[in-house]
């Protein structure tokens, strides 16, 4: 059959705050065919979230974890397991980027090296921990290794002052590496490793030595 016809456009007006606005032909057609829901705009309250909440950034939680890493002694009363059990991404990333910035010395390539060592070094520690029977996730290792770079950041300005004294500078470097390695190992090396603890502590120690070598320009 030869079907023919025409679509008439009714003079439809919308009342918006006392003003009448004529609808377009496309809008009227969609409403007539039952597709008016395509024109509806929902006011989603989640779109009004603050930026930090939208990105899942908790500054108080990051600040607490920083204190846990910088003061790893159990006698200080910090719940240090929160660094491992409640991992986040933005805090460790900020620490790694900050360490990269102070390690520049005019060579921008060191930034990519530090980030690469952080990611793949953490992956190596994670795989080794799982092989040794540890119950730890990659995200936890990534967070702990990243946060534990803070001691190396702390000793950086000290090295600038005592850099001309080779013996003192070496002692401070060793202190920073031991401090960082102890902060990381005390969180990652649990009781499940038993007699295998040195097999995990040693590569963690070497990892922070490599981080320090990137900072000093070796």
Alpha carbon distance 74, 77 (integer Å): 6
Predicted confidence at residue 160, as pLDDT, reads 80
Cα 2 from chain centroid (whole Å): 65
Residue 18 lies in a domain: no
If one counts the domains in the chain, the total is: 1
pLDDT at 194 over 70: no
- pLDDT at res. 123: 92
Express each pLDDT in 9-66 by its tens digit.
454 444 444 444 455 666 676 666 665 555 555 555 555 666 666 667 788 888 888 8
Please check whether residue 73 lies inside any domain of the structure. Answer: yes
Report yes or no on 118 lying in a domain. yes
169 part of a folded domain: yes
Confidence of residue 83 (pLDDT cuts 50, 70, 90): confident
Of 4 and 109, more confident: 109
Strand 19-22 to 13-16 pairing: antiparallel
d(CA 36, CA 30): 5
In a domain, 103, yes or no: yes
* Helices (runs of H) and strands (runs of E) counted in the chain: 10, 2
Among the listed residues 7, 217, 6, 3, the one whose alpha carbon sits nearest the alpha carbon of residue 113: 217
- 109 closest CA partner among 1, 214, 13: 214
Residue 4 in any domain: the answer is no
In the block, tokens 């921990």 appear at 129
3-state secondary structure of 14: strand
pLDDT digit string (tens) for 102-146?
Answer: 776 656 667 778 888 889 999 999 898 888 877 788 888 898 898
Query: Which residue range(s) make up the domain with 63?
Result: 51-216
Q: Say if residue 92's pLDDT is above 80.
A: yes
Question: What pLDDT does residue 20 have?
Answer: 45
User: Is 160 among the domain residues?
Assistant: yes
For residue 97, which of 147, 44, 133 has the smallest C-alpha distance? 147
pTM beyond 0.85: no
Note whether residue 35 is domain-resident: no
* Cβ density class 24-56: b for 16+ within 10 Å, e for less: eeeebebbeeeeeeeeeeeeeeeeeeeeeeeee
In sequence order, what DSSP letters do the residues of 45-63 get, joined into one string?
GGGG--HHHHTT--HHHHH
Residue 57 CB neighbour total at 10 angstroms: 16
């Amino acid at each position: 059959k030869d079907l023919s016809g025409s679509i008439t456009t009714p003079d439809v007006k919308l009342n918006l705050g006392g003003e009448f606005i004529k609808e377009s032909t496309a809008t009227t057609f969609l409403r007539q065919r039952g597709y008016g829901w395509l024109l509806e705009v929902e006011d989603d309250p989640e779109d009004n979230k603050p930026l930090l909440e939208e990105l899942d950034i908790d500054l108080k939680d990051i600040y607490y974890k920083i204190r846990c890493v910088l003061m790893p002694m159990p006698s200080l009363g910090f719940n240090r397991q929160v660094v491992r059990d409640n991992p986040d991404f933005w805090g460790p990333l900020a620490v790694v980027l900050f360490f990269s910035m102070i390690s520049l010395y005019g060579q921008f390539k060191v930034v990519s090296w530090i980030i690469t060592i952080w990611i793949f070094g953490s992956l190596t520690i994670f795989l080794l921990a799982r092989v040794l029977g540890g119950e730890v996730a990659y995200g936890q290792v990534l967070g702990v290794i990243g946060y534990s770079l803070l001691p190396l950041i702390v000793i950086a300005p000290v090295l600038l002052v005592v850099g001309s004294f080779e013996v003192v500078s070496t002692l401070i470097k060793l202190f920073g590496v031991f401090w960082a390695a102890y902060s990381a190992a005390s969180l990652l090396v649990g009781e499940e490793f038993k007699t295998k603890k040195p097999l995990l502590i040693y590569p963690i120690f070497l990892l922070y030595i490599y981080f320090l070598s990137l900072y000093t320009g070796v």
